[in-house]
A and B are shown apart, each in its own frame.
Chain A
Amino acid sequence: MFVSRSMTQKVVTVNKDADILEAKELMEQYQIRHVPVVEADGLLIGMITDRDIRSALPSSFYKKDAEATKKAAAPSIQVKEIMSQNLTTLSPMDTIQDALLLIQKTMVGALPVVDKKDKLLGIISVRDLLRAFINVLGFGQPGTLLCILAEEKIGQLKKIVDIITEEKISFGSVLVARYWEEGKRAVFPYLLTNNVVNIKKKLKDAGYTLLDPMEWYMDQLPKTEFKDSK
């Protein structure tokens, strides 16, 4: 769950004296939106984004001679003139959770990862986090999602896990979420199987309610609990 395991390590970077058109070309070539600006020794000094560049260039509305216009109108804007400084950075020992919360808080699309001396080690973007999240949910592998309603008391999850284990079925993931009914929890095991018939029966026999997935809408949850905490 550490940032260093999920970040992109081969980072596309640019020199501060480079023309912004060079940065723009890099973004198009690698399909990225954030390019860290580094010194020759790898020291991070800024970040340039596709939005910074678009703001600095004339509109490309007239597509026909867009390139010519751009080159004429932006003869010598250097990266250092428009890059962001005072960056928020992560350390390789920060966690994925840190990255998620920090990206939510700072409202940026990617954060650079640096060592103690500000040397660039990697970059973690919203895309990297999505990939990590898909991995955590387990649904990159074939399986079936169950939706179980359980009392909010100690030992409920163990019973569910025991029943599933008895059937020799592997877990892709388990999510436990708030339910809108007081004293209840919704448990979502993602099971790596096609065969959940026996498990469903056993869970019902053990007194659990299987939720109709269509009744499960996040927007039916009390809105206040989901308000942004900032």
Chain B
Amino acid sequence: MKKTGFLYDDRYLLHDTGPYHPEAPDRLSVIYSGLERSGLLSKLVRLEGSMAEMKWIESVHDKAYIERFKSVCQSGHSSFECEDNQLCYQTYDIARLAVGGILEASRQVMEGALDNAFCAVRPPGHHAEFNRAMGFCYFNNIAVAARYIQSQWGIQRIGIMDFDVHHGNGTQNIFETDPSVFYYSVHEHPSFAFPGTGRAFEKGSAEGTGYTRNYPILPGQGDNEYQSVMNDDFIPLFDQFQPEVLLISAGFDAHSDDDMSGVNLSTEGFSYIMEKLVETANKHAGGRIVSILEGGYSLKRLPELVNNHIELLLKG
């Protein structure tokens, strides 16, 4: 059994998105109690949130943007840049706590104290761009983790796999010219789903050309298409790229019971993807995986999906 870290902090529940918002604190509560019920929690190495040093957040985001976000929270506004992005007084601090926890998990994985880790954080991150909040995201968690790992351990090739049903425009935006970070995203086709980017012809730019890969899934498609995405596209590309560490934007909203998308992935389909990801990490990255929660809004399905995800990390 692997040494798997689990980042969770009650303070992540304090990011209040108001009534009727899908990105609600209950998402984390059901994940936590699901792990408790299954007995998995006791097998995990617990990690708590901590305030990220600003220099790491600034390695990804515009300082002026960070200041804007901070002042919007602290002046008591309930949204930032778009009605989608509901927040509260504490949101800025909690977003920093999320990043800090993820960096600690990354450190322990990189130094070998942990084999891999799952980070159950709020707010999510993959839509947040250099200077723009979007789709419930403020700080791009996974992007900060990638920059941190690059600069602290001199890693040359970081692989990011984003299976959230929405395209991670923020992560793509941050790394599109960077050949040292391969951003791979599989998501519902942008003509039918938020945010309207992530078309197959978006392949990165300048030196980063070929190091961004977008695989759109049509509404109604499911397990079969994802299987072929993994076997015929993702694995060959990552075998060629040979990531030294694998970061995962783990969104669980492609599930057929999740009403945030029209894609029909089954619970088993999610496990299939994760098995392939673990195999890929074992082959190239010495098993090093830092998986970070993005979306996933079905309170009924989240516990089983995260349980299975973590079981596969433990199995390694």
Interface positions of A (Cβ within 8 A of B): 139, 141-145, 168-170, 192-195, 197-198, 200, 212-214
The CA-CA distance from A112 to B130 in the complex, in Å, is 40
For B73, what are the chain A residues with a Cβ–Cβ distance below 8 Å? Answer: none
Tell whether, in the assembled complex, residue B196 and residue A197 are in contact, meaning their CB atoms are under 8 Å apart: no
Contact A197 B195 (CB under 8 A): no
Q: Are B196 and A141 in contact (CB under 8 A)?
A: yes
B46 at the A interface (CB under 8 A): no
Does B219 lie within 8 Å of A213, measured CB to CB?
Answer: yes
Q: Is the CB of A143 within 8 A of B196?
A: yes
**Contact of A194 with B135 in the complex, beta carbons under 8 Å:** yes
Which B residues between 61 and 101 are near A, CB-CB below 8 angstroms?
82-84
A142 touches B193 (CB 8 A): no
Task: Tell me whether A214 and B191 are in contact (CB under 8 A).
Answer: no
- Among A139, A141, A145, A193, the residue within 8 A (CB) of B83 is A193
Q: Are B196 and A195 in contact (CB under 8 A)?
A: no
CB distance from A197 to the nearest CB of B (A): 5
Residue ID in chain A nearest B132 by CB atoms: A142
Q: How far is the CA of A139 from the CA of B127 in the complex (A)?
A: 16
A143, B195: Cβ atoms closer than 8 Å: yes
- Residue total for B at the interface (Cβ-Cβ under 8 A): 26
A198 to B20, CA, bound (A): 8
**Closest residue of A by beta carbon distance from B134:** A142
Residue from the list A192, A194, A197, A214 in contact with B166, Cβ < 8 A? A194
Residue among B136, B191, B192, B218 with the most chain A CB within 10 A? B192
A140 to chain B, nearest CB (A): 8
* A214 interface neighbour in B22, B193, B220, B260, Cβ under 8 Å: B220
CB distance from B17 to the nearest CB of A (A): 10
| B196 lies within 8 A of A212 (CB) | no
Pair B260/A142 contact, Cβ less than 8 Å: no
- Output the least CB separation between A11 and chain B (Å): 29
Taking the closest CB of chain A, its distance from the CB of B57, in whole angstroms, is 22
CB distance A142 to B20 under 8 Å? Answer: no
B296 smallest CB distance to A (angstroms): 13
Known: A144-B196, A195-B84. 18 other contacts (CB 8 A): A139-B191, A141-B196, A142-B135, A142-B194, A142-B197, A143-B194, A143-B195, A143-B196, A144-B192, A145-B192, A145-B193, A193-B194, A194-B84, A195-B22, A213-B191, A213-B262, A214-B219, A214-B220
Checking B195, B220, B262 against A142 with a beta-carbon cut-off of 8 angstroms, the contacting residue is B195
Partner of B136, one of A168, A170, A194, A214: A194
Contacts of B192 in A (CB 8 A): 144-145, 213
Chain A contacts of B134 at CB under 8 A? 142, 194
B219:A212 contact, CB within 8 angstroms: yes
Task: Determine chain B's interface SS by DSSP, over half rule.
Answer: loop
Complex Cα gap A145–B83 (Å): 17
Report chain B residues within 8 Å CB of A142.
127, 134-135, 169, 194-197
CB–CB B194/A200 < 8 A? no
Q: How far is the CB of B78 from chain A (nearest CB, A)?
A: 11
Taking a contact as CB atoms under 8 Å apart, the answer to whether A194 and B195 are in contact is yes
CB-CB under 8 A for A197 and B82, given A142-B196, A143-B196, A144-B193: no
Question: Can you give 9 A-B contacts (C-beta < 8 A)?
Answer: A144-B193, A144-B194, A145-B191, A194-B194, A195-B21, A200-B259, A212-B262, A213-B191, A213-B219
What's the Cα separation between A122 and B218 when bound, in Å?
A: 41
A140 closest partner in B (C-beta): B196
Q: Which of B238-291 contact A (CB under 8 A)?
A: 259-260, 262
Q: How many whole Å from B43's CB to the nearest CB in chain A? A: 34
- With A141-B196, A143-B196, A200-B259 already in contact, the answer to whether A193 and B82 are too (CB < 8 A) is yes
Minimal beta-carbon separation of A146 from chain B (angstroms): 10
Residues of B within 8 A of A170 (CB): 83
In Å, the complex CA distance between A193 and B23 comes to 13
B193 to chain A: closest residue by CB: A144
Cα–Cα, bound, A193→B22 (Å): 12
B287-307 contacts to A, CB under 8 A, are 297
Q: Are B196 and A169 neighbours in the complex by a CB distance under 8 Å?
A: no
Residue of B nearest to A168 (CB): B83
Closest B-chain residue to A145, C-beta based? B192
Contacts of A195 in B (CB 8 A): 21-22, 84, 260
Whole-angstrom CA separation of A169 from B191 in the bound complex: 19
> Chain B contacts of A213 at CB under 8 A?
191-192, 219, 262
Which residues of B have CB within 8 Å of A145?
Answer: 191-193
Closest to A210 in B: B262
Chain B 184-226: CB-based contact to A (< 8 A → 1; otherwise 0):
0000000111111100000000000000000000111000000
- A217 CB to closest chain B CB (Å) equals 12
Q: Please report the C-alpha to C-alpha distance between residue A212 and residue B221 in the assembled complex, in whole angstroms.
A: 12
**B219 touching A193, Cβ below 8 Å:** no
